Amino acid sequence: MHGPEIFTRGWWVFAAMVAAFLAAMFLRRRPIGVSLMFGALIGGLVAGHGIPVRHMVEGAFTYFDPMLIIFTAMFFMRVIEENGALGSLAYLLIDRFGRRPSLLLAVVTLFIMFPAMLTGITTTSVLTTGALIAPSLMALGLPRVTTGAMVAMVSIMGMVAPPINLLAMLIGQGVDMPYIGFEGPLAAAAFPLALFASFVLAYPHLRRADPTAALKDKSGSETKEYGWRLFIPLWVVFILMAAVRLFPQFVPDIGVPLIFVIGGIAGLFYGRRVRVAGAAYRALHTGLPVLGLLAGIGMFLQVMTLTGVRGLLVVTVLSLPLTLRYLGILISLPGFGGVSAFASAMVFGIPFLLSLLGRNEIVVCSGIALLAGLGDVLLPSAIEARFASQVVGESNFLLIVKKCLPLVLLFGLTALAMIYWADSLAFLTP
């Protein structure tokens, strides 16, 4: 088969895979992970490989390490939520900083980001710390839509921030680049943007806030009863993660999943009683959609590789003029991220990173991860806007999407600038 025929056939296979994926998701209303699996099956059939069972199984386990991180992190977050640590921390933040709006917004931003920073999943922040702090913010005078937009955008920046950025991990895995040295670029992007989003959205409403109303239904009883011991699990995870990175010659790398398990076990001994089986079940139930999504992405990409579609995308991106390449990065990554940020990072992030080899790859990968993550508040799925609307009690999630759009555009341009001047930002890497 000649070169042009291969290209034509490859595009037909890719079109069939995407069409099957979209049909399963929107017409049959299947979960995204199942829809990706269906797209992979159709791709194998159209390309003449039948049902590629071996490749489907291999693809499903491609991202087993990130899956372990997600489950163990969700278990840890569930334990410290059920033992009262997260609720008490929210109470302390409002109590200590409620009359100082600038400082309050800074610490609330970090509080909301925290679960996503540990899990690499935006939803964990929206549904845990975001859900805990949103009623207090609204009691302080923040409108529902603004609160939802703030929770959604800050949670996305938590997903982008170190120490765990699954998007960067998945892209790096696709090009055999280890997840080492990303802390600087990711932190330099995520934390300033998260603080900017919080201050732009919330500060005008909180300048003269009275924390009394926000605290009247919160007793802080767990903090009074257990004191500082309630936060020991948080310190355990923080110290272990820091020690592995700062003192590798003395502290063996036991792996992120084991660190979360140790932190979760520590949380069983402090605060309210937590049933291990129940916490593990609820953690799995919450994380299952993302675990299924990663399995579906692995299958989809494995079949793309089998049929030559993945190589076709790389060659096509490499052949684009530089201006169109940057325009494609700005549009396709957050645009396809509206379906799935993880799928966007894998399907488009890897070819774009390969097309920009020669620049500082760590900084470029960080910028691509930021762009893909922004899709979480964009249509068609707008998954984090939907969750944030539930958290704040807003029936129309499109209002939150609309509120987020100016920030998405600004943050997207920031990520593009980060990619363009990657070599100038190389000082952020080791």
pLDDT at 382: 85
pLDDT at 217: 54
Distance CA 28, CA 35 (A): 9
**Contact criterion met (CB below 8 Å) for 230 and 270:** yes
Q: Which long-range contacts (CB under 8 A, 24 or more apart) does 37-40 make?
A: 37/295, 37/296, 37/299, 37/300, 39/300, 40/296, 40/299, 40/300, 40/302, 40/303
- Whose CA is closest to 384, among 177, 168, 126, 146? 126
Domain ranges (residues) in the chain: 3-428
Give the model confidence (pLDDT) of 249-264 as tens digits. 888 888 888 988 999 9
Structure tokens at 4: 């042009």
Structure tokens at 315: 């060659």
Distance CA 219, CA 348 (A): 48
Query: What radius of gyration do the chain's Cα atoms show?
Result: 22
**Contact criterion met (CB below 8 Å) for 41 and 57:** no
Query: What separation in angstroms does the CA of 53 have from each of 14, 41, 291, 302?
Result: 19, 9, 20, 11
Query: What is the chain's percent helix, strand, coil content, to nearest 5?
Result: 80, 0, 20
pLDDT at 317: 79
Kindly report the pTM of this predicted structure: 0.80
pLDDT at 69: 81
**Intervals of the chain under pLDDT 50:** 1-3
Residue 99: strand, helix, or coil:
coil
pLDDT at 148: 96
pLDDT at 1: 47
Which parts of 309-382 fold into alpha helices (H)? 309-319, 322-337, 341-344, 350-355, 361-373
Give yes or no for a cis peptide into 380 (omega within 30° of 0).
yes
- Whose CA is closest to 169, among 193, 186, 188, 152? 186
Distance CA 230, CA 1 (A): 66
Type of residue numbered 114: F
Distance CA 356, CA 349 (A): 11
- Whose CA is closest to 418, among 190, 189, 177? 189
pLDDT at 20: 92
